A and B are shown apart, each in its own frame.
Chain A
Amino acid sequence: MHLAYPAVLSALLFCTGLYGVLARRNAILVLMSVELMLNAVNLNLVAFDVYLSKAARDTLHSGQALTLFTIAIAAAEIGIGLAIVLAVYRNRGTSAIDRLRDAAEGHGDDSDDSAGSDSTVPGAEKAEATA
């Protein structure tokens, strides 16, 4: 198999992941998109590893080793990410990430809400769970 195929596939995957990160509003989906990006990297690494081993330039299979690590990292990330999303959902009743704007600059210049108060999403905006 030519190196180009996995490379192109990986690029596509990465871009899909990017799109997901930028366009999805549901935190879970964003999380999945990040995983997609990481997997694109994994694909890349494995493909290059094979290619480089063939060319005898890398005899240590570092690419594969890094892939293993990346998979582990991705798993950990998903774990922590889901936990955080869960906590957010518990606190706010939504996992739409564009609703979490409390901390924006210019938001409530002299807001008197004390730290730790459970200020909910402002106003009449409905919590919509978009996908």
Chain B
Amino acid sequence: MSTLAQPAASLVQSVDWLAVAPPALTALAALAVLVADLFLPRARKPLLGWVAVAALAASALLLLPLRHGDRGTFCVPGHPHVCSYTADHFALVIQFLVLGGALLTALLSVTALTDARGRLPEGEYWFLLLSSAAGAALLPAARDLATLIVALEVASLPAFALVGLRHGDARSTDAALKFFLSSVTATAVSLMGVSFVYATTGTLHLTEIAARIQHVDGSLQTLTQTGVVLTLVGFAFKTAAAPFHFWVPDTYAGAPLPIAAYLSVIGKAVGFTGLILVTVVAFPGYSAAWGPALAVLAALTMTVGNVGALHQQPTRTHSAIRLLAWSSVGQAGYLLVPIAAAGHARDPQTSIGSTVAYALMYAAVNLGAFAVAALVGRGRTRNRVADYRGLYTSRPLTALVLAFFLLCLAGLPPGVIGLFAKVVVFSAAVDAGLGWLAVVMAVNVVVALYYYLQWTALLFRAPEGEPVRLRVPAPLTAAIALTAVLAVALSGAPQLVLRFAGGSLF
């Protein structure tokens, strides 16, 4: 073992603490919250929430000093460019997305926890949320398969618990069980794939894999290819790509609403980030295997998601959340398109920028939609789409904001940013010559418009019955305002997110 032969001083690597600060701070905050929970009296528990919000904000701010994107740590001795943790631009953007998303989730959670009146244990809730966020923040920076898997699990395991955290709610625990069982199976499959890849390449570092995978023995080719595809499964599961999407509607409907929002954004971010890292960074040479596979997945996912959403009856309990769940499946399909295109393009790294840009738009807008759903859900707990009827009369501004979010998701003006995000995705597909996928996506955009616009139209109808008037708590207002401002600002200056689609992020 060469490492052991080296002087003892190098046994402990020097760690670039600043580079790992964002996930590390989040993780520390999680621990701090857990410990503090033991000592805080019941009445002071809401303080934990604000600690978490502050920690997430601080972690996000810690991304600022890293903005040059040239740091890395946990490198292989002697190979300064083979690192397990790299804070390049890609990692930073996704970390920003994850931390920002978690921050918004936290804002939603503050209200949700208050409203739950003790049915949600606060200390555990904040600890789990922050740990999951830490894992999700770690994942985009991970550059070896072990870190990747660990980060994936760190992000997922607390999420299972979060989904089933509500005391005495069968739906919640059911959802958690389904989520959990599907997820661990997918992880096992993914790990199997990792072991295959490891078997043929002998390394877990992504860049090394990329270099070695080109020279795999002919006899081991099939094993490698199988390994590549199996590895994708775990991440595709998190992204909720069809046919790995079945848990999504059930889980979203059962989970506390902020957690559904969290899963729909951060969960997906974890999934597609892993996919991007695995495909574009680790297996670029095997694009012939994963390119078409992802293209088919993308087409299937968006179709399934959209037709599923199409069929939600507005009067059904939880139909709003289920609709958002199905729509998030559909959106996942769009997110996969540029990754699939990367498998067909000459320069894979530029086209994944489209995914990043789309994800940023989607995160802001979808969290906004969930925030409004949380607001409406306070008055009418059944979370039906039909509850939104006449929202404009009772809360004009909220209705307008929700309409804007939905149109952004649909990709139709005045939701300019949604439109441009779709344009970017389309152009990635067209650029890569994936015409058929672009056409499938085009049809899906139309199908999706149906339910988004139907919902939008419902907002402006004459209301049924007396509107429930509740005071809007400040955190919720802040979340809605933040997302709305973000969406409007992005609509005016799409360049803010679309810049990522322009060039390579690595």
- Within the complex, are A and B direct neighbours (CB within 8 Å)? yes
A residues sitting closer than 8 Å to B (CB atoms) are 14, 17, 21, 27, 30-31, 34, 37-38, 40-41, 44-45, 48-49, 51-52, 55, 57-63, 65-66, 69-70, 73, 76-77, 80-81, 83-85, 87-88, 90-92, 97, 100, 102-105, 108-116, 118-120
| Docked pose: A90 CA to B383 CA in angstroms | 26
Query: Which of B311-319, B364-372, B428-436 lies at the interface with chain A?
Result: B311-319
Q: Please, what's the 1-or-0 string for B139-175, where 1 marks a CB less than 8 Å from any CB in chain A?
A: 0000011100110010001001100101011110111
Please give, as numbers and ranges, the residues of chain B lying within 8 Å of A88 by CB-CB distance.
Answer: 170, 173-174, 176-177
Q: What mask results when residues 169 to 211 of chain B are scored 1 for a CB within 8 Å of chain A, else 0? A: 1110111111011001101110110111011001111000000
Asked if B188 and A17 sit within 8 Å, CB to CB, the answer is: yes
Chain B residues positioned under 8 Å from A61 (CB to CB): 1
Q: Which of the segments B249-257, B349-357, B446-454 contacts the partner chain?
A: B249-257
Across the interface, A60 reaches (CB within 8 A) one of B76, B161, B188, B195, namely: B76
9 smallest A-B Cβ distances: which pairs? A57-B202, A103-B250, A37-B188, A44-B195, A91-B170, A58-B202, A48-B199, A41-B191, A87-B173
Q: Is the CB of B169 within 8 A of A116?
A: yes
User: For the complex, is B382 an interface residue (Cβ under 8 Å from A)?
Assistant: yes
Which residue in A37, A49, A105 is a CB contact (below 8 Å) of B311? A105
Cβ-closest chain A residue relative to B77? A60
Residue among B170, B203, B253 making CB contact with A118, cutoff 8 Å? B170
User: A48–B195 contact, CB under 8 A?
Assistant: yes
Min CB gap A24→B, angstroms: 11
Task: Judge whether B168 and A70 touch: CB under 8 Å.
Answer: no
24 chain-A/chain-B pairs, Cβ below 8 angstroms:
A37-B185, A38-B188, A44-B199, A57-B203, A58-B203, A62-B204, A66-B204, A69-B150, A70-B149, A70-B191, A73-B157, A77-B153, A81-B184, A84-B161, A85-B177, A87-B176, A103-B175, A103-B254, A105-B249, A105-B311, A114-B317, A115-B318, A116-B169, A120-B170
**Residues on the B chain within 8 Å of A83, using CB:** 161, 164
Main secondary structure of the interface of A (DSSP, over half): helix
Q: Does B2 contact A (CB under 8 A)?
A: yes
Question: Do residues A62 and B170 form an inter-chain contact, with CB atoms below 8 A?
Answer: no
Q: Which residues of A contact B381 (CB under 8 A)?
A: 114-116
B-side contacts of A111, CB under 8 Å: 316-317
With CB as the reference atom, state the residue of chain B lying closest to A47: B199
Asked, given contacts A59-B2, A100-B174, A105-B311, whether A66 binds B157 with beta carbons under 8 Å apart, the answer is: no
Contact B174 A103 (CB under 8 A): yes
Does B3 belong to the interface (CB within 8 Å)? yes
Q: Which residues of A contact B196 (CB under 8 A)?
A: 44
- Nearest CB in chain A to that of B257: its residue: A115
Residues of B within 8 A of A52 (CB): 198-199, 202
Q: A58-B202, A91-B169 are in contact. List 4 more A-B contacts (CB 8 A).
A: A110-B313, A114-B382, A115-B318, A120-B170
Query: B315: which A residues are within 8 A, CB to CB?
Result: 109-110
**Contact between B198 and A41, CB atoms less than 8 A apart:** no
* Closest beta carbon of chain B to A32's beta carbon, Å: 11
